[in-house]
Amino acid sequence: MKSVIIAATQNKNKIREIEAITSQFGMSIISRDEAGIAKVEIEEDGETFEENSCKKAYEIMKMCGKTTIADDSGLEVDCLDGAPGVYSARFAGCDGDDEANNRKLIGLIKDVPYEERTGRFVSVITMVFPDGETISVRGEVEGHIVLERKGSNGFGYDPLFVPLGYDKTFGELEAEVKNKISHRANALEILKKRLQQREEL
């Protein structure tokens, strides 16, 4: 029987990616709506992915009293000193406008040589239990940023990000491939090990 975890995020794309991975670990993810949790906006005012991820998970756990999982993720571009970072989803000003965010990023790095357009996707996943116990893990995937959107899979900056060792963007890779190598997959793999250690105590 699968254990049911509440997703603090309301991003359906993230939930789908997390579910694709956690289902392998015997964990079923349900959204806040499915859990009957009130529609509230949790301000992501942290300066790090860790701060935002922990805040989202803890606040939703307090509301529902059930184990909750939260993901805070984004793209760090080296030639932009780590931007957009925690502001990835609202880089161009409007939260969740992928087109505008991609356009702004391309405009900022269009004169930078490909070899210097390095960066990484970061995912910090936090699981908070009803007793307050917290597990927070970080996953990353390194790569390069291209100046032309390629592929229609994924979301966010996926069409601009080519992971190291590949010649396709996340937007071009099949979901099965991305879900094995992504920052989120790496974070969830670490989470799996932490949960296994927890059961052994």
Starting at the earlier edge strand, list the strands of the sheet with 3-7: 27-30, 3-7, 68-77, 118-128, 134-145, 161-163
With contact defined as beta carbons under 8 Å apart, do 77 and 105 qualify? yes
CA-closest candidate to residue 42, choices 52, 33, 30: 52
With contact defined as beta carbons under 8 Å apart, do 69 and 57 qualify? yes
- The CB density around residue 114, as the number of other CB atoms within 10 Å, is 12
Question: Contacts by 168-174 with C-beta closer than 8 Å and gap 24+?
Answer: 170/121
With contact defined as beta carbons under 8 Å apart, do 102 and 75 qualify? no
- Is 78 noted as a catalytic residue in this protein? no
- Choice among 45, 71, 72, 167 that is catalytic: 72
Q: Looking at the annotation, which residues are catalytic?
A: 72
